[in-house]
A and B are shown apart, each in its own frame.
Chain A
Amino acid sequence: MPQITYREALNQAIDEEMARDERVFLIGEEVALYNGAYKVSRGLCDKYGERRVIDTPISEGGFTGIGIGAAMAGLRPIVEWMTFNFSIQALDQVINNAAKMRYMSGGQFHLPIVFRGPNGPAEWLSAQHSQTLAAIYAHVPGLKVISAATPYDAKGLLKSAIRDDNPVVMMEAELLYGMKGDVPGDEYLIPIGRADIKRPGGDVTLITFGKVLHIVLKAAEALAEDAIEAEVIDLRSLRPLDEDAVIQSVSKTSRCVVIDESWPVASAGSYVAHLVSTKCFDLLDAQVELVAAEDVPMPYNHQLELAAQPSVEKILAAVEKVMYLD
C-alpha cells in the first residue's frame, strides 16, 4: 500500500472529488497560486483553473459567507481556513447561517459545504495561534464535526464530507500534515459518525480524537509494557458521536480516560466523559478521568507550551487513577 503524507491524502481527496463533480470548488487564502499555506492544494489550481481554486483576501467572514451563499445556490464549496484560530472571524457565518439555514428555511435550502483547516497547537505560535476550538463547533446543532488523525482517515473522511449535503467542519492539524501513512490507491470513503478502534485492549478505554491520538498510542504502548492492555478509540467524528463504540468499549473495560487537547471546561472531552458516566454508570469500576490541556492561554516558552498539553505522563497518571494503581 502506498505511503503518503497527510497533506497528500487531503490533496487526493479534493482532487478526486473535484474531478468527480464539477460543482466542487476550493476557496480560501493562498489556496491557488501559492498552492496553499500548508501545500494541501498543491497543483490543483494548475489542474482546475482559478474559477475552481479561488484565492481570497484576508477576510474569513467574507469568503466563508461566499462559500455558504454558493452552497445555497447549488455548488459544493470547500472553504479552507488557514487555521482554526482565524475561523473565529467567521463564526457568525458558520453558526448563524451554515448551521441554521436548512432549519430556518424549512428544508428549502441545504448546504453541502466543507470548512477545513488545521486546528490545535503546533509549536512556538503562542496563545492566539495555538488554540483547539473543537468544542466551539461541536457545540452547534446543524453542523457535522470531524477530525482525522491519520492520512487514511483524512482522505476517507474528507471525501465523505465533500459528498455530504450538510455543513461539515473538518479539523486537521499542522503537525500532522507531514505525517506519512498507508493510503490505498483505490477509492474508499469513511462514513461520518463512526469511531475507529486504533488499538484493541481489554483493561482500560482511552477515548480521543485528532492529533493527540499519537500521544495516546504511545501511552498505550508504555502501558502494554506493564501488561495493561489499553483500548484506544479514535472518535473521528464529534458530531454525530459514535456513542455505541464508546459504550461497547467501556462495557468491556469498566474503566475510561478521555484525552482531548482542548481546554478542560465545557469541552468535547468533558461531554464524552459525561456520556460515559451516564450511559455506562453501572459498568464503571472507577471514575472517568479527563486529560486535557491546562486551563490557560498557551504559553510561548516551549517548555511551558509542552507542559500545558496532554502528555504520555499525564495519560499514564490518569490510567493509574482509574485502575487504582496510584
Chain B
Amino acid sequence: MAEKVLMLALSPTMEEGVIVKWIKSEGDSVEQGDVLCEIETDKATMEYESPAEGTLLRIIAKEGQAVRVGRDIAIIGQAAEDISELAKETPAPVEKPPVEKARPVRKEPQISAPTAEGRLRSSPLARKLAKERGIDLSTVQGSGPQGRITRSDVEKAGTVAAAPPKVAGLTDETVPVTQKRKVIADTLSKSKFTAPHYYLRVTAAVDNLMQARTRLNDKIGQKVSVNAFLMKFVAEILKRHHMINATWQEDSIVMHGTADIALAVAQPDGLIAPVVRNCNAKGVLQIDRELKALIEKTRKGALTRADYADSTFTISSLGTFGIEEFTAIINPPDSAILAVGGIMKMPVAGDDDRICIGRCMKLTLSCDHRIIDGTVGAAFLRDLKEMIEYPVHELY
C-alpha cells in the first residue's frame, strides 16, 4: 500500500524546508532509515531518512522547492503500484506545524549514532589535514571508494577556500532569503511583536572582574573569555530569580531547573546562539572550554540542533565593536536577554568621593513583561551587578 512521505519538522521552529538534493531517484528501492533527500531547515541542512520501505514511486517536491511542514514530498510503495488516486489528492495545508511549543520537561540532547549510509567517510590523514586547516569535511567531495575523502580531496578543498574574496562594489542586487535568514526574521519579529519588551540598564564596575581574570589567565596560561565569567555569574543569579529563567506557554509558565545559557554568535550567513548547558553546575573554566568548542563548531557550520536549541537565557555582546550599550530582542523560548556593551574607562566617584578612572561595562536586560515584572527584572540586574563588582560577596 503506497503512502505519502511528508515534510517533517526537523527543528522545533521549522515551518518549511527546502529540498536541497534528492539522494534517491524515482524507481529506487528504499529501506526504512535510508537517506531519501537532504533538506535545508531554518538552522542546518539535514538528511531526511525514509519512514517507510518499498520503492520510491514519485518525487513530488523537486530540488530547490520549499515545502511547508506536513505537505507531501514523495510517495513510497510497492514497485509498479498504481498511485494515480494517491497522487491526485490535494494535500491539505497544515495550519500549524506539529511542533512542541515548549518542553515541559527537559530531556538530554539526543545525538543519534550516524547510520552507515549517512556517515561521512574520510581517511585519518584527510581528517587530520582538515582539522589543521579548519576545513569542514562535510563540505568536501570525496573521491575514494564509497566517497571516502582523501588527502588530495582536502588539499583541493583547501585551495578553493584559500582563494581571495572578490571585492564587491555597490551594485543593485536582489538575493533570495536563505532559510536561516528567514527563521531569524520570523523568530525575532514574533518575539518582538508578541512579547512585551521592557529594558533595564545598569553600569557595572569591572575592575575586580578584570583583575580576577588576569590572575586566572596568568595562572593557567591562556585567555578565559569575559563571556564565560558572565555566563557563570548569570547562572548563579538565576538560581535566586527563577522567573527570569522561564518560558511563557500561554496558560502556564515553565520555570527551568537548569541554566542553559546561549551566547549570540555572528556568522556571515546570520546569527546563531549556541547553548552552554547547565551553567549553574559548572565552573568558569569548564564553561569557557565548552563555549570555545561551540564557537569553533559555529565557525565551521557544524552546529547540530542539540547545540543551539532550547536555551533558558541568552547573552548578546557587541563590546568588541566598541558599542557602549544596546538593547536586544528576546530569544525564544527565553524570557530575558542580557545585552553587554564594551568595557570602557570612565570617570567614577571613588569611595572618598574623589573622581578616578575605572573600567565599566553597561548591561541592558530585556524582559518579557508577560512573565517578568519590573521589580523582578530589577532585582535580578541589581544582584548581577553586585556579583560582577564584588564576586567575593557571594560567599558572605
A contact residues vs B (CB 8 Å cutoff): 254, 281-286, 324
0/1 string, B191-205, CB within 8 A of A gives 1: 000000000000000
CB distance from B146 to the nearest CB of A (A): 11
- Residues of B133-183 contacting chain A, CB below 8 A: 143-145, 148, 150-151
Chain B residue nearest in CB terms to A283: B125
Tell me whether B124 is interfacial, beta carbon within 8 Å. Answer: yes
Name B144's contact: one of A254, A281, A284, A286 (CB within 8 Å).
A286
Of the candidates B125, B144, B148, B150, the one whose C-beta lies within 8 Å of that of A282 is B125
Residues of B within 8 A of A285 (CB): 123-126, 150-151
For residue B128, CB closer than 8 A to chain A, the reply is: yes
Known: A254-B151, A324-B150. A284 touches B125 (CB 8 A): yes
Residues of A within 8 A of B151 (CB): 254, 285
Chain B, residue nearest A280 (CB): B124
B145 and A324 form a contact (CB under 8 A): yes
- Tell me the smallest distance from the CB of A283 to a CB of chain B, in Å: 6
Q: How far is the CB of B47 from chain A (nearest CB, A)?
A: 25
A-side binding surface: helix, strand, loop or mixed? loop
For the complex, count residues of B whose C-beta is within 8 A of A.
12
Contact with A along B10-23 (1 / 0, CB 8 A): 00000000000000
CB distance from A247 to the nearest CB of B (A): 14
Complex CA gap A254/B151 in Å reads 9
Q: Chain B's nearest CB lies how many Å from the CB of A207?
A: 18
Assuming A282-B125, A283-B125, A284-B123, what are 4 further A-B pairs, CB within 8 angstroms?
Answer: A282-B127, A324-B143, A324-B144, A324-B150
The 19 sampled A-B contact pairs (Cβ below 8 Å) are A254-B125, A281-B124, A282-B125, A282-B127, A283-B124, A283-B125, A283-B128, A284-B124, A284-B125, A285-B123, A285-B124, A285-B125, A285-B126, A285-B150, A285-B151, A286-B123, A286-B144, A324-B143, A324-B144
A324 (CB) vs chain B CBs: closest residue: B144
Q: How far is the CB of B158 from chain A (nearest CB, A)?
A: 15
Q: Which B residue's beta carbon lies closest to that of A287?
A: B123
Give the chain B neighbours of A282 by CB distance below 8 A.
124-125, 127-128
Contact with A along B114-135 (1 / 0, CB 8 A): 0000000001111110000000
Main secondary structure of the interface of B (DSSP, over half): helix
Smallest Cβ distance from A209 to chain B, in angstroms?
26
Q: Which residues of B contact A (CB under 8 A)?
A: 123-128, 143-145, 148, 150-151
Nearest first, the 7 A-B pairs at minimum CB distance are: A285-B125, A285-B151, A285-B123, A282-B128, A324-B144, A282-B124, A284-B124
Of the candidates A254, A281, A285, A286, the one having the most CB atoms from chain B within 10 angstroms of its own CB is A285
Query: Nearest-CB distance from B140 to chain A (Å)?
Result: 14
- When chains A and B are docked, how far (Å) is the Cα of A283 from the Cα of B126? 9
Q: Which residues of A contact B128 (CB under 8 A)?
A: 282-283
**Which chain B residues border A254 with CB–CB below 8 Å?**
125, 151
* Bound form: Cα–Cα A281–B145 in Å: 18
Closest beta carbon of chain B to A254's beta carbon, Å: 5
Rounded to whole angstroms, the CA-CA distance of A321 and B153 in the bound complex is 17
Q: Report how far A324 CA is from B123 CA in the complex, Å.
A: 12
How many angstroms from the CA of A283 to the CA of B128 in the assembled complex?
8
Q: Collect the chain A residues with CB atoms within 8 Å of residue B124's CB.
A: 281-285
Shortest CB distance A194–B (Å): 27
CB-CB < 8 A to B143: which residues of A? Answer: 324
Q: Which residue of B lies closest to A286 (CB)?
A: B123
CA distance A241 to B151 in the complex (A): 29
Q: With a 10 A CB-CB cut-off, give which of B124, B145, B150, B151 has the most chain A CB atoms.
A: B124
Instruction: A324 to B143: give the CA distance in the assembly, Å.
Output: 8
Give the residue name and chain of the A residue nearest to B128 (CB): A282
When distances are taken between beta carbons in the complex, the residues of chain B under 8 Å from A284 are 123-125
With both beta carbons as reference points, the residue of chain A lying nearest to B126 in the complex is identified as A285
Complex: chain A residue closest to B142, CB-CB: A324
B-chain residues with CB within 8 Å of residue A281 when the two chains form the complex: 124
Q: Which A residues touch B123, using CB under 8 A? A: 284-286
| Best-surrounded residue of A281, A284, A286 (most CB of chain B within 10 A) | A286
Q: Nearest Cβ distance between residue B125 and chain A, in whole angstroms?
A: 4
Q: Give Cα distance in the complex from A285 to B154, angstroms.
A: 11
Q: Which residues of A have CB within 8 Å of B144? A: 286, 324
Question: Once the chains are docked, how many angstroms separate the CA of A162 from the CA of B126?
Answer: 47
| Chain B residue nearest in CB terms to A254 | B125
Q: How far is A284 from B127 in the complex, measured between Cα atoms in Å?
A: 10
Distance of A285 Cα from B123 Cα, bound (Å): 5
Task: Give CA–CA (A71, B43) in the complex, Å.
Answer: 76
CB distance from A228 to the nearest CB of B (A): 14
Q: Which residues of B contact A324 (CB under 8 A)?
A: 143-145, 148, 150
Q: How many whole Å from A195's CB to the nearest CB in chain B? A: 22
Residue of B nearest to A281 (CB): B124
B126 partner residues in chain A, CB cutoff 8 A? 285
Per the bound structure, the CA–CA distance linking A284 and B122 in Å amounts to 10
Contacts of B150 in A (CB 8 A): 285-286, 324
Alpha-carbon gap, A286 to B125, bound state (A): 8
Q: How far is the CA of A281 from the CA of B122 in the complex (A)?
A: 12
B128 to chain A, nearest CB (A): 5
Whose C-beta in chain A lies nearest to the C-beta of B123? A285
A302 to chain B, nearest CB (A): 35
- In the complex, which residue of chain A has the Cβ closest to the Cβ of B131? A282
Residues of A near B145 (CB, < 8 A) are 324
CA distance A217 to B394 in the complex (A): 75
How many angstroms from the CA of A281 to the CA of B148 in the assembled complex?
16
| Complex Cα gap A183–B273 (Å) | 72
Q: Complex Cα distance A254/B148, Å? A: 15
A286 to B143, CA, bound (A): 12
Q: When chains A and B are docked, how far (Å) is the Cα of A232 from the Cα of B124?
A: 23
Closest to B144 in A: A324
A118 vs chain B, min Cβ distance (A): 40
Q: For the complex, give the distance between the alpha carbons of A117 and B151 in Å.
A: 44
User: CA–CA, A281 to B150, complex, Å?
Assistant: 14
